[in-house]
Amino acid sequence: MPRSSSSAQPIRAVLFDAYGTLFDVYSVALLAEQLFPGQGQALSVLWRDKQIEYSRLVSASKRGPQRESVYQPFWELTRAGLRYACQRLGLELNPEREERLMNQYRHLTAFAENREVLQALKSRGMVTGVLSNGDPAMLEAAVKSAGLADLLDHVISVDAIGQYKTSPEAYALGEQATGLPAAKIGFVSSNGWDALAAAWYGYQTLWVNRYGLPFEEIGPRPLHTGTNLRAVLDMV
As annotated, the active-site residues are 17
HEC letters along the chain: CCCCCCCCCCCCEEEECCECCCECHHHHHHHHHHHCCCCHHHHHHHHHHHHHHHHHHHHHCEECCCCEECCCCHHHHHHHHHHHHHHHHCCCCCHHHHHHHHHHHHCCCECCCHHHHHHHHHHCCCEEEEEECCCHHHHHHHHHHHCCHHHCCEEEEHHHCCCCCCCHHHHHHHHHHHCCCHHHEEEEECCHHHHHHHHHHCCEEEEECCCCCCCCCCCCCCCEEECCCCHHHHHC
CB 223 within 8 A of CB 5: yes
210: nearest Cα among 226, 194, 193, 231? 226
